[in-house]
């Protein structure tokens, strides 16, 4: 497994994968997440992702076009596909995603699928909010979620 870091405005993102991107990890408590002991540092397979992240954080990129390989249940994959359809700068509720995947009562399950999203930012789970418009759970923490949403609002 290969890894590299991307220096985001809020800390270092850990990117991992074999032939292509498989996961993105947020820093924990302001400290970069460490790769597995047998991981090998290489930016080569992540160049496309690194370039697109740079453009995203500059406000120049509104939709990622990154090759990735992720695994999950069929329900998780349906949810993640819906997340990719959320437009830059827009937000949507967990309940609305549940409707779009054909299970209107599955808002909690959508939340769990969001939580398992292996490549946040690329698959924009930060754009999913509570029914009342509140910011709710996010793997990187609510401060990072708010930062990403504000970044997108500024650059719309």
Q: Which of 66, 50, 73 is nearest to 124 (CA)?
A: 66
Q: What is the 8-class DSSP label of residue 31?
A: B
Please tell me the distance from the alpha carbon of residue 1 to that of residue 52, in angstroms, as a whole number: 21
Q: Which of 14, 66, 125, 144 is catalytic?
A: 125
What domains sit in the chain, N to C, each tagged with a CATH number? Answer: 2-57 (no CATH), 74-154 (1.10.10.10)
Give the per-residue pLDDT at 28. Answer: 78
Please tell me the distance from the alpha carbon of residue 109 to that of residue 97, in angstroms, as a whole number: 10
Give the per-residue pLDDT at 155. Answer: 66
Compute, in degrees rounded to 10, the torsion defined by CA atoms 34, 35, 36, 37: -80
Contacts of 56 (CB under 8 A, 6+ apart): 64, 121
Give the per-residue pLDDT at 33. Answer: 87
Question: Among this protein's residues, is 125 annotated catalytic?
Answer: yes
| Residue 53 near residue 9, CB atoms below 8 Å | no
**pLDDT by 10-residue block (mean), the chain, 156 residues:** 96 95 88 89 96 97 94 95 95 95 93 94 95 83 92 80
Residue 41: which H helix or E strand, with range?
Answer: strand 40-41
Give the per-residue pLDDT at 22. Answer: 97
Give the per-residue pLDDT at 129. Answer: 92
Please tell me the distance from the alpha carbon of residue 84 to that of residue 114, in angstroms, as a whole number: 12
Return the number of other C-beta atoms located less than 10 Å from residue 46's C-beta: 22
pTM of the model: 0.91
Please tell me the distance from the alpha carbon of residue 138 to that of residue 115, in angstroms, as a whole number: 7
């Amino acid at each position: 497994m290969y890894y590299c870091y991307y220096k985001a405005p809020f800390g270092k993102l850990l990117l991992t994968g074999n032939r292509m991107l498989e996961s993105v990890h947020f820093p924990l408590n302001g400290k970069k997440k460490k790769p597995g002991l047998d991981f090998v540092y290489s930016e080569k397979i992540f160049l496309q992702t690194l370039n697109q992240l740079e453009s995203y954080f500059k406000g120049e990129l509104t939709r990622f076009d990154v090759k990735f390989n992720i695994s999950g249940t069929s329900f998780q994959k349906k949810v993640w596909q819906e997340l990719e359809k959320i437009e830059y700068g827009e937000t949507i509720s967990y309940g609305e995603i549940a409707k779009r995947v054909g299970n209107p009562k599955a808002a909690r399950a959508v939340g769990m699928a969001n939580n398992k999203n292996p490549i946040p930012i690329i698959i924009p789970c930060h754009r999913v909010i509570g029914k009342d418009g509140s910011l709710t759970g996010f793997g990187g923490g609510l401060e990072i979620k708010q930062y990403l949403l504000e970044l997108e609002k500024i650059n719309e």
